[in-house]
């Protein structure tokens, strides 16, 4: 019991530190010293979580009675490109998720391929950096099964997610997880929400769910998975679209 209480206290401290950092992110990150402060705080929260929470510690799961009637969408609500519209009109039958980078076996996954994999369904709470939460039931393919098929090379350290939503000037959303988080049991490529196909506003046809992370890590409209050794030379070098705008890379909860 003492160990459980200790873990709970440490988890609350980590969550509190992360929330405080993110709440002040926009103002603090405007200066070089502020950005350095955020990075150090994020690194500390990352180390504490890795040290005490455990590699496979689960995020809380809920009952069907807790599911919100409508799962609140945020971020991009519709990529609206001609290519995406064509896929949506075809019920995403031709959508492909390319898996490559530092892997022994690069391949592509169709939506039929994803649905044919042993699924995982989980009822979890989405915590947004904007301060709201929402509970939904997600169904998808465990990312660990996809990575096992790809066989990451020894120097692979991070999983980079490519997305179809254009954030402006031809710059598409992207996000990264380390391999510990990518291989976590609750990290899935979700194609179902509340027993129905994933709606466009929530990331159709497939999105990332990494349940120990804040919402901006949950990349939507995923069309590529790339194993990399480092993200230092990818786009802004911070590991994700919002991270390049000043958010912390580690968003563990």
Residues 6+ apart with CB under 8 A from 126: 71, 72, 133, 134, 135, 136, 215, 218
pLDDT score, position 54: 63
Structure tokens at 80: 């609206």
Per DSSP, the residues of 168-216 read STT-EEEEEEEHHHHTSTTEEEEEEETTEEPPGGGTTT-EEEETTB-GG
Does the N-terminal peptide bond of residue 144 adopt cis geometry, omega within 30 degrees of 0?
Answer: no
Q: Which of 42, 210, 43 lies closest to 122, judged by CA?
A: 210
Q: State in Å, rounded, how far the first CA of the chain is from the last one.
A: 22
pTM of the model as a whole: 0.82
Can you tell me which residue has the tokens 């709470």? 125
pLDDT digits (tens, 9 = 90+) for 86-123: 999 999 999 999 999 999 999 999 999 999 999 999 99
pLDDT digits (tens, 9 = 90+) for 180-219: 999 999 999 999 999 999 999 999 999 999 999 999 999 9
pLDDT digits (tens, 9 = 90+) for 126-164: 999 999 999 999 999 999 999 999 999 999 999 999 999
Q: Greater confidence, 6 or 59? A: 59
pLDDT score, position 51: 54
């Amino acid at each position: 019991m003492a160990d459980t209480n200790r873990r709970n206290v440490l988890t609350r401290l980590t969550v509190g530190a992360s929330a405080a950092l993110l709440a002040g992110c926009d103002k603090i990150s405007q200066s070089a010293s502020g950005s350095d402060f955020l990075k150090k705080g994020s690194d500390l929260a990352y180390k504490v979580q890795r040290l005490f929470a455990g590699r496979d510690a689960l995020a809380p799961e809920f009952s069907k009675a807790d599911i919100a009637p409508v799962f609140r969408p945020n971020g991009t609500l519709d990529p609206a490109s001609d290519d995406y519209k064509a896929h949506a009109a075809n019920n995403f039958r031709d959508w492909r998720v390319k898996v490559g980078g530092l892997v022994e076996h690069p391949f592509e996954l169709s939506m039929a391929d994803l649905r044919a994999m042993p699924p995982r369904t989980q009822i979890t709470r989405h915590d947004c950096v904007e301060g709201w939460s929402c509970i939904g039931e997600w169904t998808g393919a465990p990312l660990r099964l996809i990575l096992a098929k790809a066989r990451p090379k020894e120097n692979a350290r991070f999983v980079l997610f490519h997305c179809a939503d254009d954030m402006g000037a031809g710059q598409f959303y992207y996000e990264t997880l380390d391999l510990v988080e990518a291989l976590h049991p609750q990290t899935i490529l979700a194609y179902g929400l509340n027993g129905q196909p994933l709606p466009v506003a929530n990331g159709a046809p497939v999105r990332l769910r990494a349940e120990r992370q804040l919402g901006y890590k949950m990349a939507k409209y995923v069309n590529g998975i790339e194993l990399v050794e480092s993200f230092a030379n990818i786009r802004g070098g911070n590991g994700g679209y919002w991270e390049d705008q000043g958010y912390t890379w580690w968003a563990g909860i």
